[in-house]
Amino acid sequence: MTLDKKDETKFEVISASLNQLTINWQQVLSDIISCFGCATGTIHFLEAKTSLLKLQAQIGIPTLLIPKLSEIPIGKGMAGIAAERGQPVEMCNLQTDSSGVARPAAKETKVEGSIVVPMILNDILYGTLGIAKPVPYDFTEEEVSDLLKIGEEMSRFIRTNLA
């Protein structure tokens, strides 16, 4: 990965997961969740022809929510808004949020501190990465920066696999 020297040890496991002949996105997500001390997460890939975010991997999402998360329109929910804006969307406590950014069903995840970052490489959106904690939490600037770098690196592998 192209992360800073200080980040190398923190992300060695994620980098190893991405540098496989065949990438196991479920394992990549598991490594990211573990690295950031989170309980749940999703990876969505953008399907360019439909402009839908398609669920590629998930951990800790209640089964009843999977159909609602399997395809997300750009601009809907945290993932869709992060994709639309090209910027992270974060909530300190998804359970008490009243902004309307998170979809009502999202509260059924029982998570609180959550963030979704767009996966962008060379100004091209490849998808979104979302992680969450079961407690109220504000991700630090460094964590947000790290997640954006991870998303960029994931985009490299998505681009390569789509080519």
User: How far, in Å, are 38, 63, 72 from residue 141 at the CA level?
Assistant: 17, 32, 27
CATH of residue 108's domain is 3.30.450.40
Number of folded domains that form the chain: 1
Whether residue 144 has pLDDT greater than 90:
yes
**pTM, rounded to two decimals:** 0.86
Tokens of 11: 């992300």
In angstroms, how far is the first alpha carbon of the chain from the final one? 20
The per-residue pLDDT of the chain, averaged, comes to: 83
Q: What is the DSSP letter of 60?
A: S
Q: Note the pLDDT tens digit of each residue in 18-28.
A: 887 788 999 99
> Which of 17-21, 46-50, 99-103 comes out lowest in average pLDDT?
99-103
Domain extent, residue 107, equals: 5-162
Please tell me whether residue 163 adopts helix, strand or coil conformation: coil
The structure tokens listed for 69 are: 């998360």
pLDDT at 65 (0 to 100) = 85
